[in-house]
A and B are shown apart, each in its own frame.
Chain A
């Protein structure tokens, strides 16, 4: 019943870091879980000239592939977050892995990852990421995930 994988979407924001800590703690409580730290690189839609070399097609729509800088930044972000989670996990049985995803929609990528291989993860995420308005209690990505995901979702807030 308790999902064996805890999925933590992160963008390095304070809210995401609070979620990372919570995930580490829950994984410790649950014993032998895997914590999967993911970051999604948002892809932007490509209009007009598709003869450029860095075009990615998703569901028949063209997108600009991420740049090397973006990719390296994301890799570093995930590596840092994974290290933070590892440092906070008390149990040696907990496996911490990192993954970088690329998608036009971060929320959809998070949900697909959570539902991957027919399993259902527990998603633990911050209420609001880097983007958006501070006064919003729930950011757009968290909102979409909480509405759309079939698996349990935990939203963690930060006091700031």
Chain B
């Protein structure tokens, strides 16, 4: 198992459970990296292509601020609970029109993904669904192991 863990979060209850599991795993491992990601969907249309916004759309300032706040909140909470000095945590804000694609691409970009950890169901969608659309898509698309955590 590669020592790089990607934790996808959106601040939902099941993401919180996934976060706890990620912290616990990291505390038991030796040297490891925990990458915390959240994805925002660019909403505002933009005319010209730019490197920073390859999908031709801007995310609104409010969305970016909200996502950054969530990431730093989650990152701080994780750092407070980490007892393993060899564990490194960093946060990454992703912009993509498909959250699942963004998560899988990010995890597999470096070719050394140990696992993806995510909650079974995020903020969107129906409460009765056992598995949300993002989790389901990640599960199908990812080549690395995917750990699904329920609330």
Contacts and interface: CB of A to CB of B under 8 A. Distances in A.
Interface stretch (B17-25, B59-67, B72-80): B17-25
B146 A2 contact: no
Interface in A43-80: none
Nearest to A127: B139
B31 interface: no
B147 A25 contact: no
B50 to A, nearest CB: 34
Contacts of B25: 2, 29-30
A151 interface: yes
Interface in A104-154: 137-138, 146-154
Given A146-B139, A148-B130, A155 B28 contact: no
Given A25-B1, A146-B148, A152-B149, A159 B143 contact: yes
B148 A152 contact: yes
Interface in B20-45: 20-21, 24-25, 28-29
A19 to B, nearest CB: 9
B115 A154 contact: yes
B130 A29 contact: no
B53 interface: no
Contact of B150 (A26, A137, A150): A150
A29 B140 contact: no
Interface of B: 1, 20-21, 24-25, 28-29, 115, 130-131, 139-150
Given A148-B130, A155-B145, 13 more contacts: A26-B1, A29-B29, A31-B28, A138-B139, A146-B148, A147-B130, A149-B150, A151-B150, A152-B21, A154-B145, A154-B147, A154-B148, A155-B139
